[in-house]
Amino acid sequence: MKATNELILAIESSCDETSVAVVRDGQTILSNIIATQINSHKRFGGVVPEVASRHHVEAILVAAQDALDEAQVTYDDLQAVAVTVGPGLVGALLIGISAAKAISFAHSLPLIPVNHMAGHIYAARLVHELTYPLMALLVSGGHTELVYLRAPGEFEIIGDTRDDAAGEAYDKIGRVLGVPYPAGKTIDAMAHEGKDTFDFPRAMLQEDNLDFSFSGLKSAFINTVHHAEQKQEALLKNDLAASFQASVIDVLVGKTIKALQQYPVKQLVVAGGVAANQGLREQLAAHLAAAGLDQVEVIFPPLRLCGDNGAMIGAAAHVALQKHEPFADLTLNADPSLSFDYAETMLS
């Protein structure tokens, strides 16, 4: 195998995006086809797992064919097939896994099982060279985690949410504000038009750990809105959005800085759907400088690579291949609650 020409076909179907990509050496995207189901789940105000699974069956081969066509590769050019095994919706994951197994079996290609969260982190590899040790702040609809990487492919969770994920909180308060699903982008925009006037709680910010909590903020937000409704007071929606977002970002930024102080690294990767948040990007840069951490290089993958996509799975698969991690066999199953290991200090 020529190290400079390793091509991986990578499949992602863990939630509501069906995506297939061809990635060279874990860093060059030859194709990254993303079919989103947002128009469907918008109807229900959130992702309905059974509907998502059905859409994946419709979309998977179109995406795979388009990915191969756009990359102009044949199966003979490929070194491996990679697929997300978890975390995610079990029925959705199984579509990608079934397709990946059939392709790998039909063409005698090794099958690389990939942790979706490793994919989010390694999306950064597609735009930037990574140096270790490395810190990653993972924020998405399902996760809010600080992950420390001593070396490539060695993931340790050093901070985690105790309740809701940040993205989940956005969707829940979005419903209260009447913002259509998914709410993140709209609330981010509204926040830029408003002011932090409500001073919502910053949960766990003063505590001496690296964990997060967003359910208290969500409750405070909902109580404020209901209270005003009862008194027939009109609240400025943009100010509500700005106040909510300020609290989320303060906590994310505060905990990330604490983590960087405890675990010195050269680079910070901000990954996951919420990494697209403009407010987070601005605040993180400002606060790192203020905390004297401006030597830490912050990498935000471009917006298209922050959401779920196959290329990030291909990038993570490359790292697994380099580390000679074991391939999956034909019994490979979905692992909907797959997680990185927690750092020793968190278990004590």
| Region from 136-144, 203-211, 275-283, 321-329 binding Zn ion, contact rule CB under 5 A | 136-144
Q: Which does 252 bind (CB under 5 to 8 A by kind): other proteins, Zn ion, none?
A: none
* Host H or E run for residue 97: helix 90-106
To other proteins, the closest distance from the beta carbon of 54 in angstroms equals 7
Tokens of 313: 């799975």
- Residues near 78 by Cβ (< 8 Å), separated by ≥ 6? 7, 8, 9, 22, 107, 109
122 φ, ψ to 5°? Answer: -80, 0
* Host H or E run for residue 263: none
Report the interhelical angle of 215-230 vs 166-176 (nearest 10°): 10
**Is 36 a residue that touches other proteins (CB under 8 A)?**
yes
**Is 62 a residue that touches other proteins (CB under 8 A)?**
yes
The rounded distance, in Å, linking the Cα atoms of 41 and 47 is 5
**What's the residue count for the chain?**
348
Residue selected from 5, 28, 61, 294 as contacting other proteins according to rule CB under 8 A: 61
Q: Which is nearer to Zn ion, 160 or 308 (CB)?
A: 308
Q: Which is nearer to Zn ion, 140 or 238 (CB)?
A: 140
Amino acid sitting at position 22: V
Q: Which does 211 bind (CB under 5 to 8 A by kind): other proteins, Zn ion, none?
A: none
Q: Which does 140 bind (CB under 5 to 8 A by kind): other proteins, Zn ion, none?
A: Zn ion
Q: Which does 315 bind (CB under 5 to 8 A by kind): other proteins, Zn ion, none?
A: none
Q: Applying CB under 8 A, what is the total number of residues that bind other proteins?
A: 47
Q: Which is nearer to other proteins, 217 or 338 (CB)?
A: 338
The rounded distance, in Å, linking the Cα atoms of 70 and 31 is 6
Residue 149's nearest CA partner among 3, 58, 266, 273 is: 266
The site string for other proteins over 204-233 (x = CB under 8 A, - otherwise) reads ------------------------------
Q: List binders of Zn ion among 271-310 (CB under 5 A).
A: 308
**Is 116 a residue that touches other proteins (CB under 8 A)?**
no
Residue selected from 43, 195, 266, 323 as contacting other proteins according to rule CB under 8 A: 43
Q: Which does 295 bind (CB under 5 to 8 A by kind): Zn ion, other proteins, none?
A: none
Amino acid sitting at position 131: T
**Is 18 a residue that touches Zn ion (CB under 5 A)?**
no
**Is 25 a residue that touches Zn ion (CB under 5 A)?**
no
Burial (CB count within 10 angstroms: exposed 0-12, middle 13-18, buried 19+), residue 70: middle
Give me the residue label for tokens 């964990």.
Answer: 211
Binding site for Zn ion (CB under 5 A): 140, 308
